[in-house]
Structure 1
Amino acid sequence: MQKLQKTKKFKDKEIRFINLVIRLWKKISTKRKIQFFLILILMILSAIAEVISIGTVIPFLSLLTNSQNFLENNQLRYFISFFGFDASSNLVLLVTLVFISSALISGFIRILNLWATYQYSCLIGCDLSSKVFKRTLYQDYEDQISNNSSDLIAKITSEMNLVVATLNRSLVFLTSLITLFFVSITLLFIRVDLALFISFLLFLTYRIIVLNANNRLLKYSKKISRNLSLQVRNLQESFGAIRDVIMTNNQQFYVNNYGRNEYELRRAQANASFLETFPRLLIDPIFIMIIALSSTVFSEFFNLTSDNLIPIMGGLVLGAQRLLPSLQLTYSCWAKIKSISYSVRNVLELLELPFDQNKCLSSCENRLIFKKNIVFKNVSFKYKKSNDLIIKNISLNINKGEKVGIIGATGSGKSTLLDLLIGLLKPTSGEILVDDQNINMDSKVKYNQKWKNSISHVSQSIFLSDKSISQNIGFGLKRDEIDFNELIRVSKIANIEKFINKLPAKYETIIGEKGINLSGGQIQRIGIARALYDKSNILVFDEATSSLDNLTEKSVIKALNSLNRETTLIMVAHRLSTLIDCDKVFEIKNGEIINIYGKDDIFKKLQINNS
């Protein structure tokens, strides 16, 4: 399993443009690849249109400067005599119209190509962004909790936007290369020696610029990627702990951190943008110098008259006018891609995460039919980055329909034991059997997912979205998919129905981000109602009643214990009184089961504790 935050030194080849493009290409769907080749045809047509517009300028200028030479041209004489043209204004008008038409058609095709390029990069960006989010979300729980959420959010949002920009730049880059090729070939037909001389000087100038900019752009790319992640982290920490921030008056600390990261980010982006664009300003005076030098040299040493030189230079200047933007665009695209190459690499790491299609099973339609029991056989567990065992050689048995409690001090391993039981974590050693099937075997991935789908789990920290109470109980469902009769039934069991009915909007009350408008006990009861709404026959509560007062807790526990005998209830609690109606209770200390209490034992121990 690849690590999202694995730290290692990356060789230059890992962030080379061609390497990144090849890796991205492998992640594009077949449909998008076919569309790419259609775009490629449009790019070639755009380049050919450029060539035609350049080719028509020479006869146009020749006719204007010396119409007699134009009429005596051997290549054009047959065409002129066939259509009955002479050197009159009719011929000038025709050539002018041809020149204007070619320029307009060329412009239209270029606009169409630009529109198609942006639309295509938009579609690919949407595909890749959804794929990145899906692959990240479907990773194993242990890998999820070992990664920094700020880094993931930055990669999926800000850095993904940069990847979409890279895709667009790559397409523009390809268009520019194709245009460069065709225009360069056209210039060679106009005058080989003059075209080679001008092209050599232009390409040499850009080559020098590239050699000087390469390492700087990589450095700026690294800074941009790092500071995007730090920005998100700073925002999450400051808003996530807003109560503590206000109480300790630490606002300025986070403001300073944000300002420092913002400055580093903007400065790196500004420097990268400068390196992208400054050659255009540099190349303009250089190009004028090259044209002036070329005109002087070829008129003096190659004995070209003005009648011959003006059409040739006009064609070359128009060709260079097309060549220069393409050359600058090619460099600019390369520089932009280079400046965000670290972000592209980060997103590619997420795209290349392993993905098992079996994890996409529908939770309702693919549940495991629990028939007999859950058995732990000598189960031990430690996290991959740790050498210390959290769960040590535990063996236990839970039968279908039993009400089972787990008790122990904070840090004893209770929650980790539950995570192993519900399939979120895999044992380091030992086996977990459900109806005699090992849920963690590689060949049982689908079985493991069905087991997870069969469980309703209420954790210590219940997440509530900024939506209505009904949508938080019917979590993951659209409003029109929620069964309101079932909603009322589970709300009564969770002892939250009376509170809801006192609200002006009742079940449609918006509860605020993370349930900010509710108390801790109300949040827990909504979490319990959510678990019951799922209609699972296995309920797992991890200290799900810890925020309830004694009276409310007794009422909720009584309602849970009255559920049918087909329902298996597993509860973690600090207070033994919470577990008094359980069939058995496992007591955990330092990752080991030190006692197993039956119903009578629980009652006796509770009496001893109260005496």
Structure 2
Amino acid sequence: MVSYSKLIRLLCPRQRMKMYLLQVFFLFSALFQVGGIASISPFIAVISNPSIVETNSILASLYLAMGATNLEEFLVYFAVLIAGVILLSNLIASYSLWLLFKFAVSVGSELQSRLYSSYLSNEYTFFTMNNSATLIANLTQQIPRFVYMVLQPVLQLISQAFIVVIIIIGLLIVDPVLAMCSFLVIGGVYSAIYWTVRKRVVSAGDTITNINKIKLLLLNESIAGVKEVKLLGIEQWYIKEFKEAAERGLKASAYIGLAGDLPKFIVETTVFIAILVLAVYLFTFYGTDGQAMSILSFYAMAGYKILPAAQTIYKSTSSLKANGQVIGILHRELSNAEKHRSEPGALSIPLSNKAVFTSLKIQLDCIDYRFPGKDTYALKKLSLIIPEYGFVSFVGASGAGKSTAVDILLGLLTPVNGKLIVGDVEINKGNVSEWQSNLGFVPQHIFLLDDSIKKNIAFGSPVGDIDLERVKMAARRAHISEFVEQLPLGYDTMVGERGGQLSGGQRQRIGIARALYQEPSVLIFDEATSALDTVTEKNILNELTQLARSTTIIMIAHRLSTVINSDSIYVFDKGEIVGQGSYDELSKENEYFRLLMSANASEPEALNRDKYST
């Protein structure tokens, strides 16, 4: 079941105040609605026994206040008054409902923004430890589920509970015995059904939570890996798994829906029979005078209002029982996100506001790093110095620690021990964004927007701030301009989702152009030329050699042919540096480097045949 205090803690202070005020308005609305139905009882009493106007002091005062000259005129005025009260109460109820939905949607919107902000403000390791499908599901499925299946039902339950309580108080005043009997009958039926289905409702809610994750995971896998899926011929397996998951989810949803609506028919039948019994009871003890008709009409109108209110309360309770776990999920996600959240000073700063360091000499001082949940160290007592400007390369076998060292240089990973020092400044969570504003990074697998080539090269810049000449210059230096400029739409050509309209080499060159567009002080490549043909790679390496006169270039390379002209090469093995020097020096003096050279020589050079390369 839902903890009201836990729900309230999900809201920001301003929303909590709004929710409290909304509940006050619900009470005000309930009073008007009950007042509307209560006014019908004396009207029926006057019609069935006109003499009551003379014997009842309230009706007599109302008769005089209306200035009626006869009973017929009084009845007309009285009917108009009642109609006005009912109309006003329904208008207030409608406005109350609008406020309820508006508030719930605004909470959902704010909660999505808050959780999304928490996710993006997290350290890099948070994303390596969490499945992206789960994070997306929390934002796109769990928060809407919280809004529509938890928050709205809670608010509806509160608003309808006010109506039920006020009506029961009124019934107790009129006839305590009948009121208690009515309450026990209706409450007993709902309680019996609720206690019968509650466990299966909770189970169905858990099923929906798990099924939503499974469906999103299947969609992500099959669409992201569509090439492999088709080549392996496993489309039908994914279709079958998705269909089975969808059916299980729909069955669970159907059960929750049935459990919420089923009591309505049972209770309606029970109440209808109860009113017939009440009619017999009243006419047996009160006869056929106006009092019996008045009481019967009051109970009938009370039933007219209390039945839908009781049904809403029950349905809301069932929804909360089935979906209450989403509150715990969101609390856990927000708490987890806050634990990994970067310090305020670590939030990225715009590229145009590049921070200035007095020196860009980079030093890794005795770095130890171990990935969360791992026992072994990826880097051990690693130390190196990269001078300002020049071309430095990292080489080594897969898993040697090259990419981990680069992630520490990028400020994405925080070492367990040791320091990253730039100039004379130690980089920490408070100033890492200033350091990152000086960096350009080209990964092996380029992330591309489903947008134009221009926007992909100028990624991170607002549309109105994109400098087209700078885009073209970056494209020329990345040797992609010739291809782009012969396209019908040029730099406005759409690349497709994940760059699906481009070859691997073209995607890498756009990634290189993106890094060059930023005009970084330090440019880092992580196997970023692996998809290029040898001619294009050679041309780009020549560009980088020229660029190294005014920029620090750091390159991770698998093919040793790409690092021949490096000023300095660091050789990695098992998280340690086992050699450092120029290509010629290492080839003569470092046995492990010669082993890498032999391994490279035995691998055939695979040319990348770009779809559009000339």
Q: Greater shift after overlay, 451-460 or 339-348? A: 339-348
Q: Does 1:357 align with 2:357?
A: no
Provide the residue aligned with 1:399 in structure 2: 387
Provide the residue aligned with 1:467 in structure 2: 451
Kept after mapping to 1: 8 A contact 2:357/2:423: no
What residue identity is the alignment partner of 2:6? R
Kept after mapping to 2: 8 A contact 1:24/1:348: no
1:30 Cα offset (Å): 3.6
- Under a length normalisation based on structure 2, what TM-score does the superposition of the two structures give? 0.91
What residue identity is the alignment partner of 1:17? V
Kept after mapping to 2: 8 A contact 1:473/1:533: yes
Q: Does 1:369 align with 2:357?
A: yes
1:514 Cα offset (Å): 0.9
Equivalent runs, 1:185-584 vs 2, <5 Å: 185-297=169-281, 299-300=283-284, 302-303=285-286, 305-352=288-335, 353-354=337-338, 355=341, 356-364=343-351, 365=353, 367=355, 369=357, 371-439=359-427, 444-563=428-547, 565-584=549-568
Residues 380 and 83 from structure 1, CA distance in 2 versus in 1: closer, same or farther, beyond 3 angstroms? closer
Q: Greater shift after overlay, 217-226 or 171-180? A: 171-180
What residue identity is the alignment partner of 1:94? Y
Kept after mapping to 2: 8 A contact 1:71/1:80: no
What residue identity is the alignment partner of 2:398? T
1:453 Cα offset (Å): 2.7
Kept after mapping to 2: 8 A contact 1:585/1:596: yes
Residues 525 and 84 from structure 1, CA distance in 2 versus in 1: closer, same or farther, beyond 3 angstroms? closer
CA distance in 1, matches of 2:47, 2:221: 71
1:31 Cα offset (Å): 3.5
CA distance in 2, matches of 1:542, 1:488: 23
Identify which of 14, 22, 29 aligns with 1:31.
14
Query: CA offsets, 1:246-282, max 9 Å, x none?
Result: 1121111001100110011001100011111111111
Kept after mapping to 2: 8 A contact 1:363/1:454: no
CA distance in 2, matches of 1:376, 1:486: 33
Kept after mapping to 2: 8 A contact 1:520/1:547: yes
1:87 Cα offset (Å): 5.1
Provide the residue aligned with 2:610 in structure 1: none
SS of the counterpart of 2:429? helix
Provide the residue aligned with 1:121 in structure 2: 104
**Identity over the aligned pairs, expressed in percent?**
26
Provide the residue aligned with 1:17 in structure 2: 2
Query: CA offsets, 1:489-518, max 9 Å, x none?
Result: 111111111111111111000011111111
What residue identity is the alignment partner of 2:377? L
Query: CA offsets, 1:520-574, max 9 Å, x none?
Result: 1111110011011112201110011111122211111111121264411110001
CA distance in 1, matches of 2:239, 2:486: 41
What residue identity is the alignment partner of 2:107? I
Provide the residue aligned with 2:572 in structure 1: 588
Kept after mapping to 2: 8 A contact 1:363/1:450: no
Residues 366 and 554 from structure 1, CA distance in 2 versus in 1: closer, same or farther, beyond 3 angstroms? closer
RMSD over equivalenced CA pairs, Å: 2.2
1:366 Cα offset (Å): 5.7
Q: Greater shift after overlay, 32-41 or 252-261? A: 32-41
Provide the residue aligned with 1:45 in structure 2: 28
Identify which of 6, 14, 37 aligns with 1:54.
37
SS of the counterpart of 2:418? strand
Residues 500 and 78 from structure 1, CA distance in 2 versus in 1: closer, same or farther, beyond 3 angstroms? closer
Residues 376 and 83 from structure 1, CA distance in 2 versus in 1: closer, same or farther, beyond 3 angstroms? closer
Kept after mapping to 1: 8 A contact 2:457/2:514: yes
Kept after mapping to 2: 8 A contact 1:493/1:559: yes
Residues 71 and 23 from structure 1, CA distance in 2 versus in 1: closer, same or farther, beyond 3 angstroms? same
1:83 Cα offset (Å): 4.7
Kept after mapping to 1: 8 A contact 2:123/2:412: yes
What residue identity is the alignment partner of 2:449? S
Identify which of 167, 177, 202 aligns with 2:161.
177
CA distance in 1, matches of 2:381, 2:121: 29
SS of the counterpart of 1:375? strand
Residues 65 and 547 from structure 1, CA distance in 2 versus in 1: closer, same or farther, beyond 3 angstroms? same
Q: Which runs of 5+ in 2 are unaligned?
A: 603-614
1:375 Cα offset (Å): 1.8
CA distance in 2, matches of 1:73, 1:294: 24
1:82 Cα offset (Å): 5.2
Q: Does 1:149 align with 2:132?
A: yes
1:136 Cα offset (Å): 1.5
1:298 Cα offset (Å): 5.0
Query: CA offsets, 1:132-180, max 9 Å, x none?
Result: 1111222221120121111121121122221121222222122112222
What residue identity is the alignment partner of 1:473? I
What residue identity is the alignment partner of 1:466? D
1:38 Cα offset (Å): 4.1
Residues 82 and 245 from structure 1, CA distance in 2 versus in 1: closer, same or farther, beyond 3 angstroms? closer
Q: Greater shift after overlay, 553-562 or 197-206? A: 197-206
| Count of residues in Structure 1 that have an aligned counterpart in Structure 2 | 589
CA distance in 1, matches of 2:9, 2:251: 33
CA distance in 2, matches of 1:116, 1:256: 43
- Under a length normalisation based on structure 1, what TM-score does the superposition of the two structures give? 0.91
SS of the counterpart of 1:461? coil
What residue identity is the alignment partner of 1:324? L
Q: Greater shift after overlay, 337-346 or 127-136? A: 337-346
Q: Greater shift after overlay, 253-262 or 67-76? A: 67-76
CA distance in 2, matches of 1:407, 1:55: 86
SS of the counterpart of 1:562? helix
Kept after mapping to 2: 8 A contact 1:50/1:183: no
What residue identity is the alignment partner of 2:564? I
Kept after mapping to 2: 8 A contact 1:49/1:106: yes
1:434 Cα offset (Å): 2.6
Kept after mapping to 2: 8 A contact 1:400/1:568: yes
CA distance in 2, matches of 1:212, 1:178: 26
